[in-house]
Structure 1
């Protein structure tokens, strides 16, 4: 059994609220205040869940530099009140940062729910996740 600390519980709440504000900001035609608040809450929650040192190590690895640059650059663009461009840049950075997690998540979803045409999507994400380029 894994023990969850109080900081991790707070981090889960902050990340959940961050995702809620991001979704709500997109639904309200890219409201820059809601998107900025959601970004700040999500990143703060991530730091609470895995810790400051591990968060910094995750974002500033050499082979994840381009993804981190686009993701954090998108956050800065949203904070500078360019929400549409910022969210596009941030989404591209998110895909670059987490593309190695997509096959694992999709495999888990497919093991829980067996939907026939998602197997093709799973093989596509496996090809994306196993690219030979480190940057």
Structure 2
């Protein structure tokens, strides 16, 4: 069981709300208002979950600077109503910042009953593994 502080619980709520509004903004044909609200809630949630100092240190790592620049530029473009271009630039930033976590996310999703069956299907699994960078270590 994971124990979260009250601040972290609020952070999870803000992050989930940010994700919801971001997805809804995409479904609403890249509505800049929903995308901007999703970005703002996501960043606030991230700060509440891991703390301000760890957030700054994560975004300022030398190997994450390109991702940070693209992420911030994408948010700026969305805020000035250039939502589609901002979304594309921000997507590159998200891949640069959080691309290391995709393998962990895929492994977690494979533990969920119905989703795991689909992701572990012999036809789909190699493609998902290649996209997420998952290496399957077989015991010898």
> Quick one: higher RCO (CA 8 Å, sep 6+), 1 or 2?
1
Alignment size in residue pairs: 127
Give the secondary-structure state (helix, strand or coil) at the position aligned to 1:3.
coil
Q: Residues 71-119 of structure 1: CA distance to partner in whole angstroms, max 9, x if unpaired?
A: 1110111011100000000001111111211122222323542322332
Q: 5 Å matches for 1:90-101?
A: 90-101=90-101
Q: 5 Å matches for 1:79-118?
A: 79-112=79-112, 113=116, 114-118=120-124
- Matched with 1:72 is 72
Unaligned runs of 5+ in 1: 128-135
TM-score by length of 2: 0.83
Instruction: Report the CA distance between 1:33 and its aligned residue.
Output: 1.1
TM-score by length of 1: 0.86
Unaligned runs of 5+ in 2: 135-140
Name whichever of 3-12 and 117-126 sits farther off. Answer: 117-126
